[in-house]
Amino acid sequence: MSRAQDRVFGIAEVCREICWHIHAAGRHDITMVARCSRLLMEPALDVLWNEMLDVEPLLKLIPALEKIEAWDVGDAEYEYDYKFLYPPQTNDWSRFDFYGRRVRTLQYVHEGEIDCTVFHCLGRYRLTPMLPALRTLYWYHYLPELEFGPEFIAEVSPFITPLLRHISIGTSPGGPTDQEPPSDREAMVSFFHMLPYRTPLVEKIEIYGNMHDISFAFISRFQQLRVVNLSGLQLRKPYHERETLTALSTLPLLESVIALDVFGDKLVGISLRPGFPSLTHLSLDRAKPLGALILLKMISSRALKTLSISRMDRGSSEDVISCVAYLSNFSSTLEDICFHSQYEHSSLDVGMPIVEACLQLPRLRTFQLCPMRRQEWPTITQKQAEEMTEAWPRMRDLSLPCHITLHPLKALALRLHSLRSLSFGTLFVGGNVASAWMETPILSHGLLKVSIDRYSPNDKHLLVASILDRLFPRLQVGSCAGDQVIEAISILQAARADQEWRVQPTPRSNAGNGT
């Protein structure tokens, strides 16, 4: 090898980039590089072991462990097990440490195929972290009867290391609802209490599974935390709202909160300090309007872009309107709003006032309002459609339970040029459908998805499809079984594509070909 090559391969960053490029072509290739090149062996092994999708390759590196098939020991509970032949000595960890120090991401998803006490036992024999360079940990034990409790904590704890940035751990959500609380509750309390001290650099935390009780006060000690995701967490008892909101609000870098429950019943009259200075995304799972309003008033951030409520619970009409009206305080930043209601408020007293209040949010790109029933909602007028086009010039995804006629639909098509997804209740064409088709302008709008519950009249599928095709020629019809209008649009698009292909100029043949 020349001196120039020596100098190139002597730069660690260059070698690493070369190995990542080779790895992109296939795992086999980078394995061959690690075996054949002395200069590239170290960076090649770093790339090869960077992400692990199982723990078995790591367990095989420990000579003191022996893998045993379940039927060999008469155990029907597990498929296989690991037995300690003797207590691991220092030299038993040499190969494990040689490869384990390279692991940056560990993803282990299992259903209890092995006896997981082996992980807890391994931790007892370690004086240093199992995987010291680990940055991301995904560890899921999907066993219906297993709660997020002492047993699961014992199996995952050896892999909780100081350099972790992303923790995503948990058990299977759902399962029996009548389970007794864990006898060793102190194990879970101490685990969460110590977690911020053991992993001070964590930026994202996700917790899944069933728990009887948990205090979220520990979250306030994650000073680098940016994302909290509770979407897979099911608590047997409601957590303390005041304690939870206070802990979350004090985090200086927190940007996203996902699937938080807020009700507000026990927060009335309690003074909560403003917080959430960096919040940009707020997603609530179950929320009462009062709880949502209290939480919004706590947010001091002026960068809030997204608000989503998956299950809006019962609340007074005044609370709902007050909650939505308060969003005007974020009018300069709020871009996406999704409300999914579990309770049927009056469409006239609550539904349309929500729409009108959101007209004060000029930066909206997504507005989804999804109650459980649509029949009682009014039909959008021409004036209301024009107000929407003036208020939301950037709108991309508009989903309303209202009904709509052809003229307001034309107004949306002519003025909302960024619209990519549109959803309404019933489309009323009215009058002479053939005349309506003739009066419909031919546009090149970029709308890709349309969802309409019903059409009126209901027996003019081809004409209604022709109207929609004139307004929105780029619809992605996809799988449209059962929707005769969308099926007709698909036929029209195919016919138009065939016609465009036919009228393409035929390339001139080479004169030398004799044709």
Average of per-residue pLDDT across 473-483: 73
Q: What is the pLDDT of residue 500?
A: 80
Q: Is the pLDDT of residue 191 over 70?
A: yes
Name the more confident of 318 and 343.
318
Q: Over the stretch 347-358, which tens digit does the pLDDT of each residue have?
A: 878 889 999 999
Task: Tell me which residue has tokens 């195919």.
Answer: 494
Q: Is the pLDDT of residue 478 over 80?
A: no
Half-sphere exposure of 332 (CA within 13 A, CB side): 4
Sign of CA dihedral 359, 360, 362, 365: negative
- As a whole number of angstroms, the distance between CA 132 and CA 100 comes to 8
* Amino acid at residue number 473: P
How large a percentage of the chain has pLDDT more than 70? 89
Q: Is the pLDDT of residue 87 over 50?
A: yes
- Answer whether 298's CB lies under 8 Å from 326's CB: no
Average of per-residue pLDDT across 170-197: 78
Task: Tell me which residue has tokens 């698009």.
Answer: 493
When mean pLDDT is compared across 22-26, 190-194, 328-332, 412-416, the lowest value belongs to 22-26
Q: How far is CA 332 from CA 307, 308, 309, 335, 338, in A?
A: 14, 17, 20, 9, 18
Number of Cβ within a 10 Å radius of residue 77: 8
Name the more confident of 240 and 326.
326
- As a whole number of angstroms, the distance between CA 318 and CA 296 comes to 16
Q: Is the pLDDT of residue 181 over 70?
A: no
Q: Which helix (H) or strand (E) holds 420?
A: none
Q: What is the pLDDT of residue 132?
A: 95
Residue 23, classified by CB atoms within 10 Å of its CB into exposed (0-12), middle (13-18) or buried (19+), is middle
Average of per-residue pLDDT across 50-67: 93
Task: Using alpha carbons, select from 476, 433, 440, 474 the residue that is nearest to residue 455.
Answer: 433
Q: Over the stretch 370-384, which tens digit does the pLDDT of each residue have?
A: 876 666 789 999 999
- Answer whether 463's CB lies under 8 Å from 489's CB: no
Kindly report the three-state secondary structure assignment for every residue of 299-310.
Answer: ECCCCCCEEEEE
For residue 422, the cross-strand partners are: 398, 450
* Amino acid at residue number 283: S
Q: Over the stretch 245-285, which tens digit does the pLDDT of each residue have?
A: 999 999 999 999 999 999 888 888 788 899 999 999 999 99
For residue 379, the cross-strand partners are: 403
Q: What are phi and psi of 316, to 5 degrees?
A: -70, 155
- As a whole number of angstroms, the distance between CA 402 and CA 50 comes to 51
Name the more confident of 225 and 42.
225
What is the band of 290 on the pLDDT scale with cuts at 50, 70, 90? very high
- As a whole number of angstroms, the distance between CA 483 and CA 447 comes to 18
- As a whole number of angstroms, the distance between CA 270 and CA 160 comes to 37
Q: Is the pLDDT of residue 457 over 90?
A: no
Average of per-residue pLDDT across 184-194: 86
Q: Which helix (H) or strand (E) holds 366?
A: strand 366-370
- As a whole number of angstroms, the distance between CA 166 and CA 137 comes to 6
- Answer whether 210's CB lies under 8 Å from 175's CB: yes
What is the band of 2 on the pLDDT scale with cuts at 50, 70, 90? low
- As a whole number of angstroms, the distance between CA 397 and CA 290 comes to 27
Q: How far is CA 427 from CA 34, 422, 452, in A?
A: 63, 12, 7
- Answer whether 367's CB lies under 8 Å from 394's CB: no
Q: What is the pLDDT of residue 498?
A: 84
Q: Over the stretch 312-336, which tens digit does the pLDDT of each residue have?
A: 887 888 889 999 999 999 999 999 9
Average of per-residue pLDDT across 488-510: 80
Greatest mean pLDDT among 277-281, 372-376, 398-402, 472-476 lies in: 277-281
Q: What is the pLDDT of residue 375?
A: 60
